[in-house]
């Protein structure tokens, strides 16, 4: 068996093992070890590669950004800010047809700016928004669809863990990736809101609900001062973290530290942090951080094995000889990512495809900030598509109403999948949508 065949076989083997239930980091590490062993013919070479990757992969200062932003997101999740944001958005949009759906999108967009984790958004707003929407007459399928669809904003609007991972894997500026994620996030939020308005006016029986101008509407009498008071802390935190990066005051790692401290103070100020919750936050932060760093190490090993097998240079030469241009290659790449999203989780896709495509994209001298946004948007579609849409499973598991099925969640999210694909096409055709804020 040639080196190239070993590399190709490893790709199919990884997809098989992950789909069979093996953790992606273990699958990547195992097959990388076996691949190097078969290519070099000596297991000692493969074992030394593992040791070098473990020692070098995460030794840089930049990797401190991972636990710090995770910690910030965990503090925000227990602070009750999600409900406050939803209450304010509800006051602004509640009187429109489908207004509570738009309020959910707006609250998710703001909440995403301080969490960076779509799953956290899905869990929080399933508890906050779905019961209120159903109480006001919205159809259950629409209610869970809005929450599931808009939860993807958590991985697009910075700070985003997927953008951090892409920056680490491709050595692209995380600060630039954060800036680039703002405008596509806004465009996607507007697209979701317009879709909700369209459905509310064109297919009202699907949406249900009523404008909140009747007696008993939740938070209908919220004063302007109370709304400002509820929204001010989160706005200040967003400005501190993202504004600090944009202004050049902080590196991404330093902004993560500032954000984590600000989130801690905010949670303490709202009196939501007990010793038990603090311990839970620290434990969950540790679990998420270790999982991500383990993935980074395994992806580093896998990338080295692919380079050793010659598959990346082979694919690059094949593309060059075929005469395909940049947009043809990107189109094929995005279709592959969208298809992988139906069977793999977002992190797995990132760790498999990015080390493979990175050398090829370098030959085209592509702007990796723009390419990173394309990758994240395409991967995020997988969060809400069957059969493995993790956000849909989180919504279903968090629901108190067991009459709402998993099929209802996926069906309700389908219109938002279409909007995401449309935005993906727009960002592909018009790169300035993502690059307008990048200097």
| DSSP per-residue codes, 224-280 | HHHHHHHHHHHHHHHHHHHHHHHHTSS-HHHHHHHHHHHHHHHHHHTT---HHHHHH
- 341 three-state secondary structure: coil
The structure tokens listed for 195 are 């879709």
Range of the domain at 113: 3-435
Helices (H), 1-117: 3-20, 24-40, 43-56, 65-79, 81-93, 99-115
Within 8 A by CB and 6+ apart from 310, the residues are 3, 4, 7
Q: Average pLDDT by consecutive 10-residue portion of the chain (439 residues)? A: 84 81 82 87 82 74 80 81 82 83 90 76 84 88 93 86 88 90 94 94 85 48 74 83 79 85 88 87 86 79 80 74 85 89 78 85 91 94 81 83 86 94 95 89
* Cα–Cα separations (whole angstroms), residue 285 to 59, 67, 71, 78, 117: 19, 7, 6, 13, 12
Global pTM reads 0.80
DSSP string, 299-333: HHHHHHHHHHHTHHHHHHHHHHHHT--HHHHHHHH
Look at the chain and report how many structural domains it folds into.
1
First-to-last C-alpha distance (Å) of the chain: 48
pLDDT number for residue 435:
93
Q: Is 406 exposed, middle or buried (0-12, 13-18, 19+ CB in 10 A)?
A: middle
φ, ψ at 23 (rounded to 5°): -60, 140
């Amino acid at each position: 068996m040639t080196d190239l065949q070993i590399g190709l076989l490893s790709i199919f083997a990884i997809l098989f093992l992950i789909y069979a239930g093996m953790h992606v980091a273990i699958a990547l590490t195992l097959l990388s070890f076996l691949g190097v062993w078969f290519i070099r013919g000596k297991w000692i070479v493969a074992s030394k590669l593992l040791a070098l990757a473990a020692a070098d992969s995460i030794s840089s200062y930049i990797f401190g950004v991972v636990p710090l932003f995770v910690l910030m997101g965990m503090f925000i999740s227990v602070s009750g800010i999600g409900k406050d944001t939803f209450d304010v958005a509800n006051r602004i949009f509640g009187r429109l047809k489908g207004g509570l759906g738009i309020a959910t999108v707006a609250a998710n967009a703001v909440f995403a700016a301080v969490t960076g984790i779509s799953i956290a958004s899905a869990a929080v707003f399933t508890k906050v928004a779905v019961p209120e929407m159903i109480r006001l007459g919205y159809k259950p399928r629409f209610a869970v669809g809005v929450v599931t669809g808009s939860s993807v904003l958590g991985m697009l609007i910075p700070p985003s863990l997927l953008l951090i991972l892409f920056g680490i894997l491709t050595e692209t500026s995380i600060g630039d990736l954060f800036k680039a994620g703002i405008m596509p996030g806004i465009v996607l939020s507007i697209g979701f809101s317009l879709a909700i308005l369209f459905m509310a006016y064109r297919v009202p029986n699907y949406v249900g609900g009523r404008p909140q101008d009747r007696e008993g509407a939740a938070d209908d009498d919220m004063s302007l001062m109370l709304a400002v008071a509820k929204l001010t802390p989160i706005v200040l935190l967003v400005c501190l973290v993202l504004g600090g990066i944009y202004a050049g005051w902080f590196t991404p790692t330093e902004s993560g530290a500032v954000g984590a401290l600000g989130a801690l103070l905010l949670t303490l100020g709202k009196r939501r942090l007990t010793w038990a919750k603090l311990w839970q936050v620290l434990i969950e932060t540790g679990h998420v951080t270790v999982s991500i760093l383990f993935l980074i190490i395994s992806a580093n090993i896998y990338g080295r094995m692919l380079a050793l097998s010659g598959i990346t240079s082979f694919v690059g030469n094949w593309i060059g000889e075929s005469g395909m241009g940049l947009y043809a290659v990107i189109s094929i790449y995005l279709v592959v990512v969208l298809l992988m999203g139906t069977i793999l989780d977002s992190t797995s896709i990132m760790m498999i495809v990015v080390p493979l495509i990175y050398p090829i994209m370098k030959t085209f001298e592509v702007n990796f900030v723009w390419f990173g946004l394309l990758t994240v948007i395409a991967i995020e579609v997988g969060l809400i598509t069957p059969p493995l849409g993790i956000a849909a499973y989180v919504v279903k598991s968090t629901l108190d109403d067991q009459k709402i099925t998993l099929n209802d969640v996926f069906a309700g999210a389908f219109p938002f999948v279409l909007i995401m694909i449309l935005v993906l096409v727009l960002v592909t055709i018009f790169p300035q949508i993502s690059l307008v804020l990048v200097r």
